[in-house]
Amino acid sequence: MRVLGVDPGLRNMGWGVIDAMPGRITHVANGVCHSDGDNLGERLLSLYNQLIEVIAAWGPETAAIEQTFVNKDAVGTLKLGQARGVALMTLAQAGLRVGEYAPNAVKKTVVGVGHAAKDQVDYMVRLQLPGVKLNGPDATDALAIAMCHAHQSRGGRGLEQALARAKG
């Protein structure tokens, strides 16, 4: 299963692609979409166009995105939500099913601790994807989101298969 992870942001939207097979996750690609434009609409359109290119280039089968957390800066939270909305729309338009994960769930899955620091996430992503060249912290977070989705999806599929066997 090829998974695209997205770390939404208005200035920098991280993305990471992994291949997840039973017992093994491998790195495919990662990067950052940098918004461009003089106003909010142009910046959001820029992110949309770049994310479409990522999807076309790497052909993910499924996707995952980080949920928005509310911080003290309401305007910043709103802009982050708009960037996240553009990402969700782009993924849906591409026909991808999207998993949504809270930041603490991603950290708990990848690091083992829900309140892990950024450097701990970076270390564990590098450890689980040997030889990966990370294209910045936003791309690292996106790979962690993809890894979280791969682990969560496996559990979900196993449960679905067990329920199907029990019914049949």
Task: Just list the catalytic residues.
Answer: 7, 66, 138
What is the distance between the alpha carbons of residues 46 and 10, in angstroms, rounded to a whole number?
A: 10
- Nearest Cα to Cα of residue 105 among 74, 144, 58, 75: 144
∠ CA(23), CA(24), CA(30), 5° rounding?
150
Please count the helices (runs of H) and the strands (runs of E) in the chain.
5, 5
What is the distance between the alpha carbons of residues 143 and 138, in angstroms, rounded to a whole number?
A: 9
Q: Give me 40's structure tokens.
A: 């909010």
